[in-house]
Structure 1
Amino acid sequence: MKIAIIGANGYIGKHLAFYLQKKGYESMCYDIQNEKHDNYKQVDLTDKQSVVNIDLNVDYIYMFAGLTGTYAGFDNYETYVKINEIGLLNLLDAIRHSVYRPKVVFPSTRLVYRGIDKSLAEDDEKETKTLYAINKLACEGILYAYKQSFDIPYTIFRICIPYGNLLSTDYSFGTVGFFIKQAKAGKDITLYGGGNIKRTFTHIEDLCYQIVLASMKDESNGEIYNVGGQTLSLREAAEIIARKYGTNVMAVEWSERDLRIESEHTYFDDTKIRTLLNCKDFKQLEDFSRDI
């Protein structure tokens, strides 16, 4: 089995490469950085001439390159559209004009959902408050269109809050990483409005497990899955980390800018992926905190 990972230097991309290697799969890695090591090539997805360097004669392409962020997209909208949407289109166009049909595995986000205090299923109402969310929802539609017209298979995974590190003791990524950084420095963890908003927290090993196993199932072709995990309020998650380091959790007032784009409660109904995988229970943040 042959696998390509585009965006292999990112947080999830690095972990996918590591996870696949542990499972006995070899992957070819691509990213924008100019690096010299085995099984790696530099690729700029916004440049069609660069995209031709991607070996399409593979079974799966994990398309994990892109820009993340919330408010930053408004200040850099051309870059966000170019990298997040045109980059995917350039890849799909290359596949379209080739004899190969690898399955494209694509990460989407919780931010495509309209926030509400209930477990969100894949077909629940959508609302896009940031350019990044618009990018992701557009890409979901692009993948559907290219499957319909050119038989390019795909599977999409909507991700909420990933955390953890299988590669080192650097836990600086994302929401939980922010909590750890504050608490390790002896500072109180600050949360807008007290942190009563709920999210689904997924350990990176569980994330890789779900993405790899689900994408390899034939019945996942053309499907979208919420990635499973543990539902906690931001405050509950912060308190777990604060207890580890003997600090506190403090409420701060929302800034007007951040409140305008806040997605509110976004936590997942993961029944669909649990059913597909006959899933085990996922890791708990409390257990993770004991090991850091």
Structure 2
Amino acid sequence: MKIRCAIIGSKGYVGNHLAFYLQQRGILSHVYDMMDCDDINFEKIDISNPESVEKIDLNVDYIFMFAGITGTYNGFEKYQLYNSINEIGLLNLLEAIRKSNYRPKIIYPSTRLVYKGIDKPLKETDEMESKTIYAVNKIACEGLLKAYNSSFDIPYTIFRICIPYGNLLSTDYSFGTIGFFIKQAKLGNDITLYGGGNIKRTFTHVEDLCFQIVEGAFNPKSNGEIYNIGGEILSLCEAAEIVAQKFGTKVVEVPWPEKDLRIESGHTYFDDLKIQKLLNLKPYKRLQDFSNDI
């Protein structure tokens, strides 16, 4: 039977790659975003507006809800915007589904920032902490999905993402932490790291990321579950050194700004045993291999 999908936030980094990945699988998705797009299946919507959300075709099997605003310290200065898009946006979608005759499965991206940092592989059940408005939004949305599933049988799967990198669509590797490292190194600048970058993260190439999200979503055992996205565990310094060596630059320690140190989570890297059991994953793409192709 033909799988029907919708992607909300289709012009974002992960949403755009999910559309590409699904297309490679022969699945043409309905795509939605606030930004204009020439795609034949595109509809412009504002997820924070209930009337706009009514444009979404709910007669699909899966809705990848990847619309949102990210950031750390900015959330305190723009809390109304963060709450409106990140929480009210999801509520608008859930309410639209609740009032409809359809029950598409919502696929939702959460973040490493919901965890209390500690130097050990974090399990999905480990202690949570919110040091930013963004983290508060994500914890709240995880709860909203569970509540609407319990009361209205709206299925969902949550994937917690750490550090994604790479690009399947072009040679522009400008996203996130690795994108920052590459941009600095390409300019011939040293890569600067607060406090030397000894804190550890899980780095996931976007191809591995899309595989885990899509194949995990399609697995019926994933309904109502939360999964850490697996990848390669490296310190920020180790990751920066890989990029610096590629371009002949250096990694330089700089002191923490006080405001950034207050919201820093510390070590946040994942125990991925749960998703490994679900999907029987192959070895992850390594950052060193990726850097060789830049």
Judge same fold: TM > 0.5, yes or no. yes
From 172, 177, 194, the equivalent of 1:170 is 172
CA displacement 1:221-277 (0-9 Å, x = unmatched): 000000000000000000000000000000000000000000000000000001100
> 2: CA distance between counterparts of 1:143 and 1:189?
39
Say yes or no: does 1:187 pair with 2:165.
no
Deviation for aligned residue 1:35:
3.1
Say yes or no: does 1:202 pair with 2:204.
yes
CA displacement 1:157-186 (0-9 Å, x = unmatched): 000000000000111110000000000000
CA displacement 1:191-250 (0-9 Å, x = unmatched): 000000000000000000000000111110000000000000000000000000000000
Residue identity in the other structure for 1:148: S
Say yes or no: does 1:66 pair with 2:65.
no
CA displacement 1:44-66 (0-9 Å, x = unmatched): 11111111100000000000000
Secondary structure in 1 matching 2:113: helix
> 1: CA distance between counterparts of 2:6 and 2:91?
17
What corresponds to 1:76 in structure 2?
A: 78
What corresponds to 1:149 in structure 2?
A: 151
Aligned length: 292
Deviation for aligned residue 1:37:
2.9
> 2: CA distance between counterparts of 1:195 and 1:35?
38
Residue identity in the other structure for 2:266: E
* TM-score, with structure 1 as normaliser: 0.99
From 121, 126, 132, the equivalent of 1:124 is 126
> 2: CA distance between counterparts of 1:148 and 1:233?
39
Residue identity in the other structure for 1:56: L
Say yes or no: does 1:280 pair with 2:282.
yes
Secondary structure in 2 matching 1:70: coil
What corresponds to 2:94 in structure 1?
A: 92
Structure 1 alignment gaps of length 5 or more:
none
Say yes or no: does 1:246 pair with 2:248.
yes
Residue identity in the other structure for 2:34: I
Secondary structure in 1 matching 2:234: strand
What corresponds to 1:256 in structure 2?
A: 258
> 2: CA distance between counterparts of 1:265 and 1:87?
30
> 2: CA distance between counterparts of 1:178 and 1:278?
32
Deviation for aligned residue 1:33:
1.6
* TM-score, with structure 2 as normaliser: 0.99
Secondary structure in 1 matching 2:40: coil
Coordinate RMSD, CA, aligned: 0.5
Identity %: 68
Deviation for aligned residue 1:279:
1.0
From 54, 57, 69, the equivalent of 1:55 is 57
CA displacement 1:21-52 (0-9 Å, x = unmatched): 00111101000123343110001111111111
> 1: CA distance between counterparts of 2:175 and 2:221?
32
> 1: CA distance between counterparts of 2:250 and 2:36?
42
> 1: CA distance between counterparts of 2:204 and 2:197?
18
Say yes or no: does 1:218 pair with 2:245.
no
Residue identity in the other structure for 1:167: L
Once the two structures are superposed, the pairs formed by residues 98-113 of structure 1 within 5 Å of their partners are 98-113=100-115
